[in-house]
């Protein structure tokens, strides 16, 4: 008999997952961070060239890749600190660590700088891991630049493209792919195959100050404009979260949207119209804030020692 109707996670795992979700809500409630809900089906696809939106048939709607834009509209309207736990969708490659539909925790704290939002993220992760009975992990911080220097003996902010290209080829990138790769594509490849897997071995590691060209929705660092106030969290080589001190400049955000669209055209991808409601919210005045998006399923994997994301979901993509 076909067993494809059965869940891929055990009920013991699903109970642990529920306990971890409750711990997250308790963490935010104790800090007076309001839980909110925003639409899953939205009018604008994402412009980020690294993400692909899933579209709905009929009405011109897309399943959101993150609740970020809607949550920032709430903040601009005066919500104060907020968080959300929701399902998000990314039309990406299926892998042991990725399911196109997954659970994201996203939150925003007003007045937080980079250090405070990193500490807040460490605190939340520690709380959730403790609820699952997982071992306490040390925390560490390292700059993007120092991580590359440690693992590859090169400076990602100063190295020329030929050195990056040669290093990437030395780590398995095909020469044909390397020839047409941009600087950021080469850096992304090296982070994925050489730097990232070495981060957070036995700890929870924050990698901060990404190159300004990879700022996404983060502010540029005032003390070093080559870098952005962006960080990612790694544990045992697994990326768990991505955070920013949030960009509040509508004109700069519009410029970045156009830059994204130019890169999407270069890659032969769809070029969706930017989210004008989000831009209007920024123009109205976004308070100083920092935010984080955390992949909850990967955190469950870490807590329970799972090797595949299917082990921590009731019904992954293939059984949905």
- Domains contained in the chain, CATH given: 11-137+268-319 (3.30.930.10), 141-199 (no CATH)
Question: Tokens 């100050």 — which residue?
Answer: 209
> Do the Cβ atoms of 229 and 220 come closer than 8 Å?
yes
Local structure of residue 8 (DSSP, 8 states): S
pLDDT of residue 46: 94
The residues, ordered by sequence, that sit 6+ positions from 206 with a Cβ below 8 Å of its Cβ are 118, 121, 122, 139, 140, 141, 142, 231, 232, 233
163 alpha carbon, distance to own chain's centre: 28
Instruction: Residue 156: name the closest of 185, 119, 121, 116 by CA.
Output: 185
Both structure tokens of 237 = 């080589």
Encoded tokens for 288: 């100083």
Residue 122's SS3 state is helix
Contact criterion met (CB below 8 Å) for 238 and 302: yes
Distance CA 185, CA 172 (A): 14
Scanning the structure block, which residue is given the tokens 């590859």? 152
Given phi > 0 = left and psi -120 to 50 = alpha, else beta, which region is 69? alpha
Characterize the bridge pairing of strands 82-89 and 34-35: parallel
Q: Are strands 82-89 and 101-110 parallel, antiparallel or unpaired?
A: antiparallel
Neighbours of 39 (CB within 10 A): 12
According to the model, what pLDDT value does residue 240 have?
98
Query: Tens-of-pLDDT digits for all 320 residues of the chain?
Result: 688 999 999 999 999 999 999 999 999 999 999 999 999 999 999 999 999 999 998 778 999 999 999 999 999 999 999 999 999 999 977 899 999 999 999 999 999 999 999 999 999 999 999 999 999 899 999 999 999 999 999 999 999 999 999 999 999 999 999 999 999 999 999 999 999 999 999 999 999 999 999 999 999 999 999 999 999 999 999 999 999 999 999 999 999 999 999 999 999 999 999 999 999 999 999 999 999 999 999 999 999 999 999 999 999 999 99
Q: Angle CA(156)–CA(199)–CA(214) in degrees, nearest 5?
A: 40
Residues 248 and 288: their CA atoms lie apart, in Å, by 7
97: enclosing H helix or E strand? none
Which helix (H) or strand (E) is 176 found in, with range? helix 175-179
Partners of 174 in the beta sheet?
A: none
Q: Which residues contact 102 (CB under 8 A, 6 or more apart)?
A: 87, 88, 90, 295, 296, 297, 309, 313
Joined tokens for residue 222: 């005032």
């Amino acid at each position: 008999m076909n067993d494809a109707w059965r869940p891929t996670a055990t009920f013991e795992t699903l109970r642990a997952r529920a306990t971890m979700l409750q711990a997250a809500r308790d963490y935010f409630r104790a800090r007076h961070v309001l839980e909110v809900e925003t639409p899953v089906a939205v009018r604008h696809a994402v412009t980020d060239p690294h993400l692909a939106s899933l579209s709905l048939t009929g009405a011109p709607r897309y399943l959101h890749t993150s609740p970020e834009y809607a949550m920032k509209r709430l903040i601009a309207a005066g919500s104060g600190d907020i968080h959300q736990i929701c399902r998000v969708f990314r039309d990406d490659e299926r892998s042991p660590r990725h399911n196109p539909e997954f659970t994201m925790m996203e939150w925003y704290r007003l007045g937080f700088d980079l250090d405070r939002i990193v500490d807040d993220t460490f605190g939340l992760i520690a709380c959730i891991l403790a609820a699952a009975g997982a071992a306490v992990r040390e925390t560490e911080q390292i700059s993007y630049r120092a991580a590359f220097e440690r693992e590859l003996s090169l400076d990602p902010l100063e190295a020329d493209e030929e050195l990056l290209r040669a290093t990437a080829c030395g780590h398995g990138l095909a020469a044909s792919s390397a020839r047409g790769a941009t600087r950021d594509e080469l850096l992304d490849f090296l982070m994925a195959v050489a730097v990232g897997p070495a981060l957070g071995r036995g700890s929870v590691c924050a990698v901060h100050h990404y190159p300004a060209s990879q700022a996404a929705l983060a502010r540029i660092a005032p003390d070093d404009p080559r870098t952005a106030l962006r960080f990612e969290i790694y544990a045992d080589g697994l990326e768990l979260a991505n955070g920013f001190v949030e960009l509040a400049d509508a004109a700069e955000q519009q410029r970045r949207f156009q830059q994204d669209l130019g890169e999407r055209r270069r890659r032969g991808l769809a070029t969706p119209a930017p989210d004008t409601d989000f831009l209007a919210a920024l123009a109205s005045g976004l308070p100083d804030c920092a935010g984080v998006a955390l992949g909850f399923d990967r955190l469950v994997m870490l807590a329970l020692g799972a090797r595949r994301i299917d082990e921590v979901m009731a019904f992954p993509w293939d059984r949905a």
